[in-house]
Amino acid sequence: MQKVDLKKELKHLYQPSAKEVVQVEVPTFQFLMVDGEGDPNTSEEYAQAVEVLFSVSYTAKFMVKKGAQGIDYAVMPLEGLWWADDMSAFVANDKSRWKWTMMIMQPHFVANEVIEAAISEVERKKRLPAVGKLRLEAFSEGLCAQVLHIGPFSEEGPTVERLHGFIDARTGRDGNHHEIYLSDIRRTDPTKWKTIIRQPMK
């Protein structure tokens, strides 16, 4: 059986250094996505979005593994795009007014039909409330800067400032604040959480 780990294959995008901000070109990938708003720490909508994304992603993984393709691949990490209609709410950390798109990248060899079958399976077996909000979409970021943050989300400020400083000295920022969650926060000490902070550049 063929084994695939896209995080290793795409090391330059999913294993950045914490020491320095780097510039990367991010190609178009297919993502399962759910949109929502509100404080991720307290919002039921957020918890439901994360649950359905992982449920469908793992269901698709096992379909591909047991199917004709016979590929065993690692499910990609949870990612999030973050913004607010009034960005002062973002700067002021008013999480109740935050908007987000939570998403998980789907490997190029996983056909749309497999994703659709996985969604139907999850809908039938688990009846998750957010399943109707799921969509599969091609997402392209292009030129970005990114850096690895190690530690709790509440201490991201200085890392984000370094990232913004790097970009502002070159071209200027574009698009939404993007985070990629490499750690299982339920099982990892917050001081060791690893989060990629990515920001598109003009």
CA–CA gap between residue 193 and residue 188 (Å, rounded)? 7
Please give the model's pTM, rounded to 2 decimal places: 0.95
| Residue showing tokens 């992603």 | 57
pLDDT of residue 88: 72
The whole domain housing 144 covers 2-200
pLDDT band with cut points at 50, 70 and 90 for residue 1: confident
90: pLDDT strictly greater than 90: no
HSE (side-chain half, CA atoms, 13 Å) at 195 = 24
CATH number for 30? 3.20.80.10
pLDDT band with cut points at 50, 70 and 90 for residue 105: very high
**pLDDT, tens only, 148-194:** 999 999 999 999 999 999 999 999 999 999 999 999 988 999 999 99
pLDDT of residue 91: 65
Q: Using alpha carbons only, what angle is made at residue 158 by residues 154 and 161, rounded to the nearest 5 degrees? A: 120
**Number of independent structural domains in the chain:** 1
Neighbours of 165 (CB within 10 A): 12
17: pLDDT strictly greater than 80: yes
**pLDDT, tens only, 34-45:** 999 999 999 999
**pLDDT, tens only, 134-146:** 999 999 999 999 9
